[in-house]
Structure 1
Amino acid sequence: MPFTAHLRKREAKSGITTYQIVAEEEAGYSTGKRKRFYRTVKGSKKEAEKAMHNFINELENRTFTKDSKITVKDFIHQWIELYIKDQLSPTTVQHYVVQTENYIIPVFGDMYLQQVKNIDVQKWVFSLQKKSPLTGNPMAPKTIKNIFLNLSAAMKKAVMLELIPKNPCDNITMPKLERFHPDVYSIEEVEHMLDCAKGTSMYLPLMIEICIGLRRGELLALKWKHIDFENGYLSVEENLVTVNNERITKAPKTQSGKRSIQIPATLLALLKDTKAERKANGNDYIICQKDGSPYKSDSFTQKFRRFLETQGLKHLRFHDLRHINATIMLSLGISPKVAQERLGHSSYQVTMDIYSHVLKKVEKEAAEKLDEALFEKPSA
């Protein structure tokens, strides 16, 4: 919209003359009100007139910024408190806090918003590729991208608030994303792990993961009321997470996350026996501590790690158990669409992207079997 402006001459008691530039934007259709912008300059009237024309150009070209000396640290804290905290889930907010405090604020925190330039952000991205400030190891491209997007979102809001003229995160060269191939156990290694777990409190959760492939929060939120013993189904209805050392139960993030899964017969029998031994009721947690309370997310992950170390088993992330379940299903020729529904992926494409390497192997085996059945005749 076009702007108009005029000068107001001001004389202080000290004798110093200043001019206040008052610029007005054309009245908006919805409110009928004019939006005003102000700037004070020292010097002669001719210099003030020149400054006024430059001010109008800044406003019309959207390069105007409010005169603010807010630091990146202070702005990010305000951004999270005012624009993020009430809009996203507690776990997502916690990710924002952890990433900004550990990776962004130590680098940019003491700088004023207007001081952060494109080259500063680019150097920071390259530095993360070489070395994480927490571990000293190179960071994965996907992790760098997630952290970068937090800074970019904050800077985008600063542009909207007219604190900076443009986003210094625009046109940044990011590390090339690598296709993720989950690290999984072979069938023999899975059998050995389950043998090691027999007679321990890890046997039931490992059986559930290998047979059904739940997310950690879905597993920890399971209660006996979620098991339909008559029809052999498990219902995923809740997700238990830990935020600021407090357990929080919430609904799955997507509609596809809320699902009903057929339970293999061996696991169903184990669940029946476990419930009878505990004399559990519907609201009791299936995977729980000795006092019946649910685990905190990190505590259960540590329990899993200790189990692997104690048994001398190859290191795995707990989430890799879910990948093992998916890999076994697809390797056995189970439809990717069925796998998607059991895993609760938001789309068929997500399943295809993560497990494309498994599906290529299955496709190759299918082609070999087809060739053998059609064209390889037994010798006389």
Structure 2
Amino acid sequence: MYIAGSTGRSRQIPTATTISNTKDVFRLHILPMFGEYSIKFLNDNKDFVLRALMKKSQTYANIKIIKSYVNQIFDIAELLEYIEYNRIEKVIRYVGDPKKQQLKAERQLNGEALTAEELIAWLDAANEDYSNGSLIMQDYVLLMLTLNLGDRKSESYALQWKHIDFENGYVSLIQSKDKFGNLKSTKGRKATKFKIPTFLIELLKEWKQKQKEELLQLGIKQTKEQFLFTYANRSGEVNIPVHVDYLNYRLKSIRRRHEELTQTNPHKLRHTFSTLAREGGATMAQISQALTHSDIKTTEIYVNTPNVVDLSTYEKFEKRLDEARQAK
């Protein structure tokens, strides 16, 4: 199978997540648009395909993936000689991404990160809920750890006690969970050790002991393989690693109790971590390393704060002019 979005086209074994996402794209988008028509009809009526895709681009942000899959269909049809050649390949290049650009503009206008003041309000609310029992310890630890690491929620979900170095104060991110709960490598296949502050170490120690006691009540012995964050599902199964939207739901529940809070989600918290770190004086290189990005250009997307140019550049400009004046 050809994997859309890869560099070039190389045959790979698709993951369960890729297969599921591909099926969803076809079921929800491609088949409703083109399922009633033959490949030959669509290939002979490229203007019809163009109009359909342009209409879809007005409402669907990730039009790029639809274009890629549609083009692959016709490439395969050409390969199998169902059609003479792929007539739509050049046509679909003219389909833009207006919905994506609209959403990007809205995010830039509204801000993709919480301000320091907005985040303080969230922390105060979480502390209040934790103190009065509205937020259980596990959920409080999950929120604080994910926020202060600036990691992806899927990486927090995949943490096991063997990844916590209490003696030296490190958390190792070496794996993550896909939406089906399967363990996989972190994005970019990176293994990263994070030095964490003392208060997080103490919080994790306290949670480890509390979790140990809770598991023993269920007849389960806590081991180094034990996941930090688990729950009981509707079928009655216990000690199940948390599901993909677990932290999203916890944030929503906090906001329901504190309606004055600015709306947020785990990904926005990642933007907040990087933005506030930058405002606090961290370099782009340091933030890029913390976010485990392979390319600093990706990091620049996460840092939602304007570049500040001080007088040092002007002073160098003026110095050079002075040198030229003195040389006359």
| 2:17 pairs with 1:91 | yes
- Distance 1:308-1:155 versus aligned 2 partners, 3 A rule: farther
| 2:49 pairs with 1:121 | yes
- Distance 1:175-1:228 versus aligned 2 partners, 3 A rule: same
C-alpha distance after superposition, 1:281-318 (max 9, x if no partner): 32221122264321111344334323323332322232
What is aligned with 1:249?
183
The Cα shift of 1:354 comes to: 4.1
What is aligned with 2:5?
none
Structure 1 gaps, min length 5? 1-75, 77-82, 131-137, 376-380
Amino acid at match of 1:93: I
What is aligned with 1:213?
150
Larger RCO of the pair (alpha carbons < 8 Å, separation 6+): 2
What is aligned with 1:349?
297
Contact 1:194 1:206 in 2 (8 A): no
- Distance 1:285-1:311 versus aligned 2 partners, 3 A rule: farther
Distance, in Å, in 2 between the alignment partners of 1:261 and 1:108 is 48
Q: Over aligned residues, Cα RMSD in angstroms?
A: 2.9
Structure 2 gaps, min length 5? 3-8, 213-221, 233-237, 319-328
- Distance 1:369-1:204 versus aligned 2 partners, 3 A rule: farther
| 2:76 pairs with 1:157 | yes
What is aligned with 2:229?
287
- Distance 1:195-1:170 versus aligned 2 partners, 3 A rule: same
The Cα shift of 1:84 comes to: 11
1:307 pairs with 242, 249, 254, which one?
254
1:260 pairs with 166, 189, 193, which one?
193
DSSP 3-state at the match of 2:171: strand
- Distance 1:316-1:156 versus aligned 2 partners, 3 A rule: farther
- Larger helix share, 1 or 2: 2
- 1:1-380 correspondence to structure 2 within 5 Å: 87-116=13-42, 117-130=45-58, 138-140=59-61, 143-164=62-83, 165-172=85-92, 173=94, 174-175=96-97, 178=101, 181=108, 183-198=112-127, 199=130, 200-201=135-136, 202-243=139-180, 247-256=181-190, 258-279=191-212, 280-289=222-231, 291-312=238-259, 313-355=261-303, 357-358=304-305, 360-361=306-307, 363-364=308-309, 367=310
Large movers: runs of 4+ above 6 Å: 83-86, 369-372
What is aligned with 1:72?
none
Distance, in Å, in 1 between the alignment partners of 2:162 and 2:194 is 14
DSSP 3-state at the match of 1:254: helix
- Distance 1:370-1:209 versus aligned 2 partners, 3 A rule: farther
DSSP 3-state at the match of 2:148: helix
Contact 2:275 2:302 in 1 (8 A): no
- Larger strand share, 1 or 2: 1
Contact 2:251 2:264 in 1 (8 A): no
Amino acid at match of 1:336: M
- Distance 1:305-1:163 versus aligned 2 partners, 3 A rule: farther
Aligned length: 274
Distance, in Å, in 2 between the alignment partners of 1:106 and 1:153 is 17
Distance, in Å, in 1 between the alignment partners of 2:187 and 2:72 is 21
Identity, % of aligned pairs? 23
The Cα shift of 1:160 comes to: 2.5
Distance, in Å, in 1 between the alignment partners of 2:49 and 2:172 is 45
What TM-score comes out, normalization by structure 1 length? 0.65
- Distance 1:191-1:281 versus aligned 2 partners, 3 A rule: farther
What is aligned with 1:45?
none
Higher-Rg structure is 1
DSSP 3-state at the match of 2:182: strand
- Distance 1:160-1:292 versus aligned 2 partners, 3 A rule: same
